[in-house]
Amino acid sequence: MTDTAAAPKKSGGIRDLGKMFGGGQSSVRQFGILGALVAIIIIFQVLTGGKTLEPGNVINIVNQNAYVLILAIGMVMVIIAGHIDLSVGSVAAFTGIIVAIAMNRGGVPWWLGVLIGLGIGALVGAWQGFWVAYVGVPAFIVTLAGMLVFRGLNQFVGNSTTEPIKDDVFLQIGGGYLPDPNLGIAYNVPTLVLGLVAAVFVIVNEFRMRARQRKVGAESAPLWVSIVKVVLLSAVIIVAAFLFAGGRVGTSFPIPGIILVALVIIYAFVTNNTVTGRHIYSVGGNWHAAELSGVKIKRINFFVMMNMSILAAVAGMVFISRSVSSGPGDGTSWELDAIAAVFIGGAAVSGGIGTVIGSIVGGLVIAVLNNGLQLLGVSSDKVQIIKGLVLLLAVGIDVLSKRSGGRSLISRFSRPKKVSAADENMTYPLNRPLVEPDGSSAEQSSRPSSTTPNA
């Protein structure tokens, strides 16, 4: 009898390259979106005569879009779990006006204002999470109601007027930069050091991961793939560090960027390396199978909704800090930008698939697209049309390519993985997502129209 499980595995160049970001469908789509981001940057760099990658413009891109990218981190977890949140813009605006009034009229210090904002976000998230997880109302309806309620509360509390912010420390949250020690060189040294530390972290983390995979006998990507990955990422980080460090005097890597990077690291770890993260994928991939496996579905649904509102509060505070005031128009259409970033970044409409890093890349695609079109003098109405078409194209191509059980368009370039008889009969452990590497569900989903079980 031939032992098929022991047969050596062949690898191909494109398939191995797909392992650079993990090898699953979401990872391969993320690889494709990253390539699209690079292409967009190059195109606008040429069309704008080099303005796109000027240090001042790169810094502005981060400052102007940090709040949307923060929202995308929470939104991808909501969408992976099979839900949607339409209230994030209104929640951010509601939080912003309360924090602004507390500091401006109440005289509370900046740190207490931040705690008040986080508390508001947690309370709003608990309210919406209760209706979604324990009452069973679809998240679309709950957050649509929340969008109306908290937009109205924002205007009611603030009397539909602008509330200024005068606390200098709080203003650094959204408008500050890494300090410059004035060492007599043309670059901001702390920014360069931060870039070097990030590059070293990427290298060390990659080879520590390979060591762990060897220790447990898990399959890992070929060594050349890891080398290409760390060289490319390190080069991008170093070049970005020089761009941020080479801006006009007084600027460097912005504080909103620091907050964003910290959140990306935390939530990427949570979604990839914790039981809670795996359960979120399981609920989105097949909530019925996850429930039978012992996953506390109500707790997961409550967590993702509450977490989303907390991050909306963070985004709201970052925005009002940069704007130096809170007004009735804050948060308008933020939810649409966050949702677009998540789907462009590779998340599946049906849930169960998506990554934090992919959503950040998707958000950067929108940010660079907005910025490049503005540099070219394209009117705002045409910008909206182009953004809508990009979103439709990004999601439509993948949906059409997966019709009738097919794989995504990008993953068609990879050869299908052969599954042994032992693999076919394996059971999924509790802390692993019930989603196959090609994006298909481990079992045919029996999810009803509402993804929240009533029982």
Confidence (pLDDT) at 16 = 58
Which string of DSSP letters, residue by residue, matches 25-37? HHHHHHHHHHHHH
pLDDT over 50 at 262, yes or no: yes
CA distance linking residue 374 with residue 380, whole number of Å: 8
Q: What topology is assigned to 54-176+254-406+429-441 in CATH?
A: ABC transporter involved in vitamin B12 uptake, BtuC (1.10.3470)
| Cα distances (angstroms) measured from residue 244 to each of 34, 56, 253, 396 | 20, 8, 5, 35
Whether pLDDT at 23 is above 60: no
Instruction: Name residues whose C-beta falls within 8 Å of residue 309's C-beta, 6 or more positions apart in sequence.
Output: 87, 88, 91, 121, 122, 124, 125, 128
- Using pLDDT thresholds of 50, 70 and 90, give the confidence band for residue 9: very low
CA distance 375 to 426: 54
User: Please, what is the average pLDDT of the chain?
Assistant: 82
* pTM, entire model: 0.83
Residue 219 has, within 13 A of its CA and on its CB side, a CA count of: 9
> Residue 455: what pLDDT?
37
Per-residue pLDDT, averaged over 312-318, amounts to 97
pLDDT score, position 310: 97
Q: Under DSSP, is residue 241 helix (H, G, I), strand (E, B) or coil?
A: helix
pLDDT band at 403 (very low <50, low <70, confident <90, very high): low
Q: Is the dihedral of CA 403, 408, 410, 415 positive or negative?
A: negative
Residue 275 has pLDDT above 50, yes or no: yes
299: confidence class by pLDDT, cuts 50, 70, 90: very high
pLDDT in tens, 190-248: 999 999 999 998 888 888 888 887 888 877 778 887 888 888 888 988 999 999 998 88
Among the ranges given (39-53, 113-127, 312-326, 406-420), the one the predictor scored with the smallest mean pLDDT:
406-420
Alpha carbon distance 48, 86 (integer Å): 35
Question: Which of these ranges, 69-78, 304-313, 355-364, has the smallest mean pLDDT?
Answer: 355-364
Question: Is 60 exceeded by the pLDDT of residue 255?
Answer: yes
Say yes or no to pLDDT of 145 above 50. Answer: yes
Looking at residue 28, what is its pLDDT? Answer: 56
- Position 447 scores a pLDDT of 44
CA distance 389 to 427: 41
The predicted pLDDT at position 36 comes to: 83
Domain segments of the chain as ranges: 54-176+254-406+429-441, 179-253
- Residue range 278-303: mean pLDDT, rounded: 90
Number of separate helices (H) and strands (E) present in the chain: 16, 2
Tell whether the model's pLDDT for residue 94 goes beyond 80: yes
